[in-house]
Structure 1
Amino acid sequence: MTSFKAELWRQFYLYKRYTFNYISDFFLLILMFMAIFWGGSLVGGGVLGKSLNALVVGYVLWSLIQNTISQMGTTVMNNAKSGILEQQYLMPISSKRLFLNKSIVNIIVSLAQAILILIVVMFFTNHWIKFPPVMIIPFLLALVVTVGLGYLIVSLVLRFKRIGSTLIIFQYIYLGVLLINFENYNDITKYLSCLLPICPMVSWMRLAINNKPYNIAFYFGGSLFNAILWVLIGLFIFRLTDKYVKKNGTLSLY
């Protein structure tokens, strides 16, 4: 708990010290959404598809993933560069617990930012969404997936050190993936989409928001499977990478 509090306070002081930079990032995300929204409106539907709700939900969840992953990757890369990462590995807690704390703090901060983005987006589009209570389940499961993705990103940083370009490519490819309405495709595509992180949760939330009939057993099972799958993948890759960098003494950037 002490290490978690320390990580929480560290994040707070970073936001306090570099407020202007974080505000700029926030408005950049808003401008990106408005560009997609206005662009889709100009082409008569386009990426907006049949529902603005689908676009809003997909984009807000993407911003949550993007902030969590980019913050995690950037923090670990900077720590490796400055030598702080080696010091953190000397702490009296396991490396798995260390990065779990970082991941949870990043999720808390990114969740607050995602809620603000949602409010601002609904204000600018004048499209206020009513969220049914059942959305809590897929949203919480989506947060669980981000923990697994956090471990996966940490593993890549520990192994390859500089993955800034990879993070950028992943973020914008995945934005397109989250905006795809897999729930409107055939059963095979729906089942395959359950292998992609957070996709079944996004489909479930879009259906719930739009009050469309759906198989709740399928989406609950698919979302639960997705959450467990990506947490296990993240932990497995992290365990292998953690052993590798310790054995070869390659924690530092150089």
Structure 2
Amino acid sequence: MLELFLAELKRSWIEFTRYPVDAVAGVFIITSVFYGLFLSARYIAGPNLQFGDRLDAIVVGYVLWTLVIFVVTSIVSILQIEAQTGTLEQVMLTPYGVSRVFLARAIASLTINIVLITGILLLILLLTGRRLYFPLTLIFPLLTVLFGAYGLAFLMASLALLFKRIQQLLGLTQFALLFLLTIPSETWSGTLSIVRFLLPMTMGAGILRDLMARNLSLNFVEISLAFLNGLGYLFLGLIVFRRAEVEAKRRGILGGY
């Protein structure tokens, strides 16, 4: 598996170095969108607007949303490109298995995209004048978010494997993810706290806001539930993708587009 990851990392790095303008343009656009919304809110509310730690929480949610979009779209885009170029069947025949190949390719791509996401975060903090906390414990809720993101990515890839073109559905999913990752679910109580546990990535995002925006300590019970949620969605995505792979082979539509 390590050999596969290193090969995919080399492949992703070659693609990144050959098309750097696209990556730089993405960073500029994503940062500009957030800064434009920030300036609009300040203009509407007037000079006496006080955000408090709410803006910090929004920054964390927005950057998380950008990261999750990278993860979800990467696997779907990889699968669709393989189908368009006619190499999907070759990937299916690899000894590693198609799920491992796509997962290794997505993680390799994420390794490079983390640098871009970090650049986006630093630019937003510089433009807005805000400051976030970066405790070492933030790696745990970040992992839970990534687990859930990869699970959702494989669910979407299952649809792409069977129906080939799902761009409109993918666009709608991005808006739903913006809601899940920016809404302050950590303030929910009662029945809503149960809903929070069932929704993908919501708990991990809330814990990250507590750590980075409010400088709170890590709650062992909440992080344990967040890990259960993330791993549950990851295994669900892998199982559904495996079933979709079997169904696509049965229909003989792997090489079609």
Given candidates 239, 242, 245, the residue that maps to 1:239 is 242
Q: Please say if residues 66 and 171 of structure 1, whose CA atoms lie closer than 8 Å, have aligned partners that are also in contact.
A: yes
Q: 1:208-227 alignment to 2 at 5 Å? A: 208-211=211-214, 216-227=219-230
Aligned residue for 2:154?
A: 151
What residue is the counterpart of 2:125 in the other structure?
122
Share of identical aligned residues, percent?
28
| Residue of structure 2 in register with 1:39 after alignment | 40
What is the CA–CA distance in structure 2 between the aligned matches of 1:147 and 1:179, rounded to whole Å? 19
Equivalent residues of 1:107, 1:143 under 8 A apart: no
Is 1:75 the counterpart of 2:78? The answer is yes
Partner of 2:30: 29
Q: Is the 8 A contact 1:72 1:106 kept in 2?
A: no
In 2, are the aligned partners of 1:104 and 1:147 still within 8 Å (CA)? no
Equivalent pairs counted in the alignment come to 253
Per-residue CA deviations over 1:66-104 (Å, capped at 9, x if unaligned) read 111122212211110111111211222212211221221
Alignment of 1:57-68 (within 5 A): 57-68=60-71
Q: 1:133-186: per-residue Cα shift (whole Å, max 9, x none)? A: 332211122222222223222212111111112112211231123111112222
After superposition, residues 1-254 of structure 1 pair within 5 angstroms as 1-44=2-45, 51-211=54-214, 216-254=219-257
Structure 2 residue matching 1:251: 3-state secondary structure: coil
Tell me how far 1:50 sits from its aligned partner.
5.4
Contact 2:60 2:213 in 1 (8 A): no
**CA 1:133–1:170: 2 relative to 1, 3 Å:** same
Contact 2:133 2:213 in 1 (8 A): no
Residues 136, 17 of structure 1: alpha-carbon distance in 2 compared, 3 angstrom cutoff: same
- Output the CA distance in 1 between the equivalents of 2:186 and 2:23: 35
Unaligned runs of 5+ in 1: none
Offset from partner CA, 1:173-231 (integer Å, 9 cap, x none): 31123111112222321221122221101111112234476882442132112112111
Q: What is the Cα deviation at residue 59 of structure 1?
A: 0.6
CA contact (8 A) 2:133 2:211 kept: no
Q: CA contact under 8 A between 1:68 and 1:110: conserved in structure 2?
A: no
Which segment drifts farther, 133-142 or 241-250? 133-142
Cα gap change, 1:96/1:38 in structure 2, threshold over 3 Å: closer, same or farther?
A: same
Letter paired with 2:25? S
Distance between the aligned counterparts of 2:144 and 2:113, measured in 1? Answer: 15
Two-structure CA RMSD over aligned residues (Å): 2.2
Q: 5+ residue gaps in structure 2? A: none
TM-score, normalising length: structure 2: 0.89
Q: 1:215 to 1:3 in 2, by over 3 A?
A: closer
The alignment partner of 2:198 has SS state of coil
Is the contact between residue 156 and residue 163 of structure 1 (CA under 8 Å) also seen in structure 2? Answer: yes
